[in-house]
Structure 1
């Protein structure tokens, strides 16, 4: 076997051990050998290197049915971190997550005019400097963007609400930060975060709906993002479910997001677009609490939102649909109508329950998922620890 092939095999075997510890939890060397199918001697060698590198630690011994007590290995991974960034119209978020799943940094910055890309570059540079200053090694960064993303080339093909077309974000941000950079759709990242650490942990099939200026869907099947043939799956904000006369940022009329997106909701209840989507939604909630007409308007938004959720459920048959972003603080006004529409229009409803859940990760869901995605190279063996 050539040295290159030997190194590739070592990375793959190491990645198998890391994945097992991350997704299946602590295990003894014997249990790891059983889980991964690797020889005990191979696992022992890998674990020794991971312990020396500070990526794995041994916990207290636990009694065994036969033989010596085992010492479970725990994935710490504190010195190897993935950086995730979300670029949106009103804000930019950064989240850094280490191999063990611990959040090492969280930041959200409002975009006050100008190009959100410039804010994202500045935030990425600050985050990278802070993390590396602590002796942390960054595996790379993933940028989550609301639009059509050409992942292979690192290009944002179209992000109407940002005004981007054909923007080479991966190359540009990589040059600005000195990091390997990938680009991914924001809904895909948020859906991955909810599946790994949020509302849909343990579910096989789920859909996440962004609740920002644009409406996109991230689809998870058996723990993996469903991207479609060209990587453009999930652009549900542009299906014709909205008011036929409503103009959308994509240039068309009648798009779903033109009726249930943040700007549409703010305009409908007469609230100005200030701060982050969550702050704007809180202002809408206060208006609805004092104004029955605003509350009735939100119920109408909930009906349209529910029709879209029911449509996706009939096509994809997921275990759950997660409402994220500004939908969460407005849930008291939106969710009853959404549930009624789901019960009325989902064909499988009498036979299989569809859960409509609220995001548990707030505005940082997409950035957290992007950080998880940035670690993928390690967990697949493409990058050595």
Structure 2
């Protein structure tokens, strides 16, 4: 379970306080009246809720801007004091851990990377503890507390329990990561699926700000999808909502590690692409970079593999659009390095498979380095601090 040993608690006595703070965090500076309009709360309720946040230093009330004064009461805008607290975030891959130190507005102050010597939980925890220690030393210079640690891991993650149920790239099953990391690092820990963590950051601070319904689709080592429905990041009853990587798009396609055939991931994930390029060309391709280079040099077999991958991704995105009708789909992930090789196929397959007005969904690409994924992990730690039960 998430640790409760944080040095201080967020002064949120009601859900309304958390809602107001999150609104100012994502959209601020805002006047009290603007906060009331965005949250649907009464101006009196907003005034009551912001008082403890101002007293505790989490919100700052700026002087009224010229011409923004309201009758009888200056319309002083409220903003979050980003320097009030710090958080750490870790993104764990199969080869390294990327760590960031962020402020309360989730702005990265410091970023670090450490290689993994092995993927066993104890090896990953040791590397994570060393990295967190480095970040805590950096934090000393800011003079405020580090109030939480977020860890983002690929696979099936139960955030409420802080457990990694299954991570194929780390080969983990049922690892109580929040408990172990909390003991090792001495901070309150939030563990979440890496794509959901990235989605939280996009919802609060990125291309999803102000959208009620959107999706983040990631392409790379796996094919992931984070969903925001009616303003909430959706995990589903069993924590695996949005697994478009395991939507079957070709029943006669290649086998997937999940046990099925023709999943989007079995066709379009990095490892699958490398395997298919080898088969299509008869060449010994070492990794994704070589596959991309071969395709860029015009090899017909390699280009056909990327075209098929784009078609699979496009159909997967269309499935999301048909089921949920999001306003926007944001495509990210390390696989975007090959985007020019399959962008047209993604668009065409999406347009063909999206039903009716679902095709109006905006599909946007957003290349993000792994530091941004670690920032997403930090965003989940901020979320847990502000709202103990975000779901």
Would the TM-score normalized by the shorter structure come out above 0.5?
A: yes
- Counterparts of 2:164 and 2:16, CA distance in 1: 34
Match of 1:75 in 2: 80
* Counterpart-to-counterpart distance in 2, 1:145 and 1:80: 24
Which residue of structure 2 aligns with residue 276 of structure 1? Answer: none
How far 1:10 moved relative to its partner?
A: 4.5
Classify the secondary structure of the residue corresponding to 2:109: strand
- Preserved CA contact (<8 Å) 1:323 1:358: yes
Partners of 2:117 and 2:276 in 1: CA distance: 23
- The alignment status of 1:62 with 2:66, answered yes or no, reads yes
**Which residue, 368, 381, 384 being the options, matches 1:377?**
384
Pairing of 1:33-44 with structure 2 (within 5 A)? 36-37=41-42, 38=44, 42=48
1:342/1:134 CA distance change after superposition, 3 Å: same
Give TM-score, length-normalised by structure 1.
0.83
Q: For residue 247 of structure 2, what is the aligned residue in structure 1?
A: 239
Deviation of residue 65 (structure 1)? 5.4
Whether the aligned pair in 1 keeps the contact of 2:119 and 2:171 (CA below 8 Å) is no
Q: Residues 334, 109 of structure 1: CA spacing in aligned structure 2 closer, same or farther, 3 A cutoff?
A: farther
8 Å CA contact 1:205–1:320 kept in 2: the answer is yes
**Whole-Å separation in 2 of the counterparts to 1:325 and 1:192:** 15
Deviation at 1:250, TM superposition (A): 3.6
> CA distance change for structure 1 residues 72 and 203 in 2, over 3 Å: closer, same or farther?
closer
Q: Distance in 2 between matches of 1:31 and 1:331?
A: 40
What SS does the corresponding residue of 2:323 show, helix, strand or coil? helix
Match of 2:330 in 1: 322
Does the alignment pair 1:290 with 2:297?
Answer: yes
Any gaps of 5 or more consecutive residues in structure 1? Answer: 1-6, 274-279
- SS of the equivalent of 1:210 reads strand
Match for residue 281 of structure 2? none
1:107-122 paired onto structure 2 within 5 Å: 107-111=112-116, 113-115=118-120, 117-118=124-125, 119-122=127-130
Q: 1:111 to 1:253 in 2, by over 3 A?
A: farther
Q: Distance in 2 between matches of 1:120 and 1:261?
A: 26
8 Å CA contact 1:327–1:334 kept in 2: the answer is no
| Residue 333 (structure 1) aligned to one of 331, 335, 341 | 341
Residues in 1 aligned to 2:84 and 2:153: alpha-carbon distance in whole angstroms:
27
* 1:53-202 map, 5 Å: 53=57, 55-56=59-60, 58-59=62-63, 61-63=65-67, 64=69, 66-67=71-72, 70-111=75-116, 113-115=118-120, 117-118=124-125, 119-202=127-210
Deviations 1:141-193 (A, max 9, x none): 12111111122221111112210001110111111100111211111112222
Of 247-256 and 334-343, deviating more is 247-256
Name the residue aligned to 2:316: 308
Query: Are the aligned partners of 1:306 and 1:338 in contact in 2 as well (CA < 8 Å)?
Result: yes
Question: Which 5+ residue runs of structure 2 have no aligned equivalent?
Answer: 1-9, 279-284
Q: Please name the residue that 2:7 is paired with.
A: none
Whole-Å separation in 1 of the counterparts to 2:353 and 2:359: 13
Report deviation, 1:107. 3.0
**Inter-CA distance 355–42: structure 2 relative to 1 (3 Å threshold):** closer
Give the TM-score of the pair, scaled to structure 2: 0.81
The Cα shift of 1:302 comes to 1.0
Distance, in Å, in 2 between the alignment partners of 1:164 and 1:189 is 19
Counterpart for residue 3 of structure 1: none
Shift of 1:362: 3.0
User: Aligned pair 1:46/2:52, yes or no?
Assistant: yes
User: Aligned partners of 2:50 and 2:361: how far apart in 1?
Assistant: 44
Question: Do 2:274 and 2:291's aligned partners in 1 also have CA atoms closer than 8 Å?
Answer: yes
Distance 1:19 1:11 in 2: 13
Secondary structure of 2:248's aligned partner: coil
Cα deviation, 1:295-349, whole Å, max 9, x if unaligned, reads: 3321121112222222222222222222211232211111100100111111125
Measured in 1, the distance between the counterparts of 2:64 and 2:353 equals 53
CA 1:81 to 1:291, structure 2 compared with 1: closer, same or farther past 3 Å? same
